[in-house]
Amino acid sequence: MSVRDHSGLPLEKFNGLWKRGDVDTTPRDHFSDCNNIDYIAQSTFGTRPGIAISQDVLVPLSNIKRIYNYPTQSANTLIVLTYNYDTGYGSIHHVVDANTVYGPLLSIKGMTDFAFVPYAGRAYISPFSDYVNGDLTFQKGLANEFLYVYDGLGNRARKAAGSGLSGAMTVANGAAGHTDPGQHIFGFVSQTVSGYNAPPTILTSFITAAASSVSFGSIPTSGDPNVVKRLLVATKVLPTFNGDLSGYQFFFVPNAIINNNTDTFLNNISFYDADLLADASALLDNYTSIPAGASLTLYHNRLCLAATATDISLILVSKAGEPEAINQITGLIVVPLDGNPITNEQEMRDVLYVFKRSKTTSFTDNDGDPSSWPEVVIDNSLGTCVHGIATVLDSGSSTVDFLLIATYQGISQFNGKYVTPELSWKIEDLWKQLDRNKFGNIQIINAPIQKEIYIILPTSQMLMGNYANGMDWKSMRWSPWSFRMGINTVAIQNIDDIILGADIN
């Protein structure tokens, strides 16, 4: 049989998957069904790249639940969570390269996921898991767990922050020197290798003499091996003393430092009250153990942690430049309560955007305490999930001027508001068939070198979007990618290496 008077319809471009409306409405240059397609340049396509084991070690990591890119001071590395289904423990590892794996750095029962930010070569790690409340599954920090810090050198991760010194010290007049005469309260602040200053402790009252310096003995050392310094603090002369040693304003005494964790004395310290300028009182209100949360980010050089086990609408914000110094009074932001946890936070254009699953708000640093930062509601219907903002290359989450965000309506550009139509407009039916109660499994990354977006779906498969022809709903080319194993996570390393994490089966 032949068909007369029929000429073919040449397709100059194949524009990918179409999953919107009736199959019969699929445009000629799209497919109603396709799988494992990769797009080459602007008009051709082929089979997606293959995959291979990325580790060249005797026992490669398996049952990988989460991978983050971890830039250290000297290399571009990975921080990886594995999960043992038999014991219920999640374990953190540091993959330096194909041949070098440190860990486990941290093992916690029930840790099925973790939030992460790198800072000054260190890794800040916050364990979390899924919780069920009625028909809703959501993520929040593990109960009775904490924020941890890893030094990047293969040592075990430790709890961030820390308690001060315990015990008592002696105070006496020292050699000839000078102080403002009168009653002072003295204490010491211990400092860790990561620069965290603990609250002043071993507080001791002493009446100084005008012509004498002050000497301190029997100064306790810290049981924390990460403590590297102890700094003297003091009040100014107290006209009256009510017996409350911690109820006054403390200052760091200039040049009064023990630069180790072994010496038990500090002798012949002279100072005037006018020299006491650097306030240490705020340290008294800092967390000594920072509760775990489901979201971590950096904003204005401050660490921001949200969605703890007990406060799902609370953001803990550190002092600028001191990620472990979070004030329990002034370092808190309360996002209006609605029964839904904070899922994500991201800085863009000098603004901190905060997301719940179906809400977006913003806060702006006004040079005051975080508790005073003004809030603006951006959208009362669209938000995202815990890994739903695309990371770019091997660093943060925003491109030059916008975010890529996975919302309930699809994959959207966000430039201060959600751009419509969404980028995933062509595959709206596919997206809306996803189980919303499993959106916590979604992860999205942006690979500008390949001009592709990779999205881990709740089905443990991947959705790839190619934007070589433009990043808008009409130009996007989509294709599902499937694998023999379930894919849990994806990361980019060394600019354009795509690293996948999967269960062993």
Q: What is the DSSP string of 63-104?
A: SEEEEEEEE-SS-EEEEEEEEETTTTEEEEEEEEETTEEEEE
pLDDT of residue 4: 63
Q: Which residues contact 10 (CB under 8 A, 6 or more apart)?
A: none
- Residue 46 pLDDT class (50, 70, 90 cuts): confident
Q: Is 335 helix (H, G, I), strand (E, B) or coil?
A: coil
218-246: average pLDDT: 95
| pLDDT at residue 159 greater than cutoff 70 | yes
Phi first, then psi, for residue 285 (nearest 5°) are -100, 5
Among the listed ranges 17-21, 32-36, 273-277, 390-394, which one has the minimum average pLDDT value?
A: 390-394
Phi first, then psi, for residue 288 (nearest 5°) are -90, -20
Among the listed ranges 4-8, 202-206, 296-300, which one has the minimum average pLDDT value?
A: 4-8
pLDDT of residue 504: 80
Phi first, then psi, for residue 300 (nearest 5°) are 55, 40
Pick 318 or 49 by higher pLDDT.
318
DSSP 286: B
Nearest CA to 262 out of 190, 367, 323, 201 is that of 190
453-469: average pLDDT: 95
Q: Is 302 helix (H, G, I), strand (E, B) or coil?
A: strand
Strand partners, 496: none
| pLDDT at residue 20 greater than cutoff 60 | yes
pLDDT of residue 400: 54
Nearest CA to 411 out of 428, 392, 433, 391 is that of 428
| pLDDT at residue 426 greater than cutoff 50 | yes
Q: pTM for the complete prediction?
A: 0.93
DSSP 249: -
- Residue 163 pLDDT class (50, 70, 90 cuts): very high
Among the ranges 19-28, 217-226, 393-402, which has the highest mean pLDDT value? 217-226
Please give the biggest Cα pair distance in the chain: 116
pLDDT of residue 106: 97
Residue in this structure with the two tokens 């990043």, named with its chain if needed = 471
- Residue 45 pLDDT class (50, 70, 90 cuts): confident
- Residue 1 pLDDT class (50, 70, 90 cuts): very low
DSSP 277: -
Distance CA 78, CA 143 (A): 26
Structure tokens at 99: 């041949």
130, 440 Cβ separation under 8 angstroms = yes
| pLDDT at residue 450 greater than cutoff 60 | yes
Supply the mean pLDDT for the chain. Answer: 93
Which tens digits make up the pLDDT trace of 85-141? Answer: 999 999 999 999 889 999 899 999 999 999 999 999 999 999 999 999 888 899 999
**Residue 420 class from Cβ within 10 Å (0-12 exposed, 13-18 middle, 19+ buried)?**
exposed
Structure tokens at 143: 């109960």
Radius of gyration of the chain (CA): 28
Distance CA 156, CA 194 (A): 14
Tell me which amino acid residue 234 is.
Answer: A
Among the listed ranges 181-185, 226-230, 390-394, 448-452, which one has the minimum average pLDDT value?
A: 390-394
329, 303 Cβ separation under 8 angstroms = no
Which tens digits make up the pLDDT trace of 54-84? Answer: 877 777 899 999 999 998 888 889 999 999 9
**Residue 359 class from Cβ within 10 Å (0-12 exposed, 13-18 middle, 19+ buried)?**
buried
Q: Which residues contact 7 (CB under 8 A, 6 or more apart)?
A: none
Nearest CA to 106 out of 166, 49, 163, 148 is that of 148
Tell me which amino acid residue 203 is.
Answer: L
pLDDT of residue 76: 87
C-alpha angle 431/433/437, rounded to 5°?
95
DSSP 14: -
